Amino acid sequence: MTTIGGAALSVVVVGAGSVGTALATNLRRLGHRVRFARRAPRDDEVEIDGASVGADLTVLAVPFGVVGDVVPRLGLSAGDVVVDATNPFGRPLPVDATAGAAVVADAAGPGIHVVKAFNVMGAEHLSDPTLPDGSRPLLPVAADDDIARSRVVALARDMGFDAVPIAGLSNSALLEDAARYWGLLAMNGGLGRDVVLVAHRRRADPAP
């Protein structure tokens, strides 16, 4: 994965729905080279098969139900980084999986670094996270691999998020619960999709 902040990344966004499109908009604003991959590509989009070959970063933004079919076809190689922006809403997990990200990791295979991120808010916030008061949306980033996690955290901060590194992909289950919590506030709580979680600290220099 190319160094963040120095060179433009080659990014493949798998899925061209609201989440994938919003993330692509944000990444292109920063000068990164973004291609969409989907089953029926249009114009400059690419096929799912082999889409990740040569890419610095793959962003998974497809419905969770197709993860098991799509991910093995991407042409991922050991050391590749996959950002999982999916949520398994309304989909039962395999009995041995604790989170949707575990299903992604299993489909990706050994040696692939899966990073859970960009799943805890509505797509409306992903293209332009800027808030009226200047604060940034809270964005937890979970992964097992320290280097992959730190690079995605750096990228997310460049994109305008208050990215927080979370050690352990196993914690992605809590990130998926956070997405459900956001949905509860937005829909059931009547706050609307404009609501976003922000970390306001009581002290400027919080105790460790």
Q: Write the CATH number for 36.
A: 3.40.50.720
Residues 6 or more apart in contact with residue 130 via CB below 8 angstroms: 160
Write out the residue range of the structural domain in which residue 44 sits. Answer: 10-188
What is the pairing mode between strands 57-60 and 33-37?
unpaired
Computed over every residue of the chain, the mean pLDDT equals 90
Question: Is 200 within a domain?
Answer: no
Residue 121 reports pLDDT greater than 50: yes
| pLDDT single digits (tens) 62-103 | 999 899 999 999 999 999 999 999 998 766 555 455 578 888
The pLDDT assigned to 95 comes to 42
Question: Is 201 within a domain?
Answer: no
- pTM across the whole model: 0.91
Question: Is 53 within a domain?
Answer: yes
Question: Is 147 within a domain?
Answer: yes
CB 60 within 8 A of CB 84: yes
Question: Is 197 within a domain?
Answer: no
Question: Is 14 within a domain?
Answer: yes
Q: Rounded to whole angstroms, how far apart are CA atoms 162 and 167?
A: 16
Residue 207 reports pLDDT greater than 50: yes
Long-range CB contacts for residues 148-155, cutoff 8 Å, separation at least 24 = 148/1, 148/81, 148/113, 148/115, 149/115, 151/1, 151/4, 151/81, 152/57, 152/81, 152/83, 152/115, 152/117, 154/4, 154/5, 155/4, 155/9, 155/57
Question: Is 199 within a domain?
Answer: no
Task: Give the pLDDT mean for 155-170.
Answer: 97
- Total count of domains within the chain: 1
Question: Is 203 within a domain?
Answer: no
Task: Give the pLDDT mean for 104-114.
Answer: 96
